[in-house]
Amino acid sequence: MSTQYEKCETREVVITQPGSTVVQVTSMVSNPLMPRGNPRDWNTGICSCFEDIPICLCGLFLGPCHQCCIATDMGENCCVPCCVPNSLITMRTQIRGRHNIQGSILSDCCLSTILQPCAQCQLAREVKSIKAGKAQA
């Protein structure tokens, strides 16, 4: 046993690190998870509820049912708002990721928690404009 221990002690481990060699990548590697181009803004602001009165009224008075309609318009199952905790955060994050909209998961969380009807209506207006082909490029 002591001979194996002595062999381990005398064995040198060589780790090679790139010294001054710089490798320049000339081709762009595409990440399919990241949209191309600069992120854009939402088509409407968080407090632009009066731009679409029916969406505003649905968001204000029919919250959970309205979320089911939004999920369906997004191509998701209508049960997502009923089955997924904090589904509004998830749906906002998904739309932002798919359509390269500025923001973060933290901002989605804060807006969906503090200004839930406004965030829900903003999402509904965004989905409506995307479906109509009027979303910003």
Please state at what angle helix 105-114 crosses helix 116-131, rounded to 10 degrees.
Answer: 120
Asked whether residue 46 is domain-assigned, the answer is: no
pLDDT, mean of residues 51-68:
92
Q: Sorting pLDDT into bands at 50, 70 and 90, what band is 119?
A: very high
Asked whether residue 130 is domain-assigned, the answer is: yes
Asked whether residue 28 is domain-assigned, the answer is: no
- Here the tokens at position 61 are 């008075």
26 has a pLDDT exceeding 80: no
Q: Sorting pLDDT into bands at 50, 70 and 90, what band is 23?
A: very low
128 has a pLDDT exceeding 50: yes
pLDDT > 90 in the chain, percent: 62
Q: Sorting pLDDT into bands at 50, 70 and 90, what band is 72?
A: very high
**Secondary structure letter of residue 52 according to DSSP:** S
Whether 116 contacts 86, CB under 8 Å: no
pLDDT at 116: 94
Domain count, the chain: 1
Enclosing domain of residue 81? 52-137
pLDDT, mean of residues 40-56:
91
Asked whether residue 123 is domain-assigned, the answer is: yes
3-state secondary structure 77-109: CCCHHHHCCCHHHHHHHHHHHHHCECCCHHHHH
Alpha-carbon span 104 to 106, nearest angstrom: 5
Q: Sorting pLDDT into bands at 50, 70 and 90, what band is 124?
A: very high
Distance of CA 112 to the CA centre of its chain: 14
Its pTM surpasses 0.85: no
pLDDT at 35: 57
Alpha-carbon span 123 to 130, nearest angstrom: 10
pLDDT, mean of residues 15-26:
49
Alpha-carbon span 118 to 108, nearest angstrom: 12
**Secondary structure letter of residue 29 according to DSSP:** P
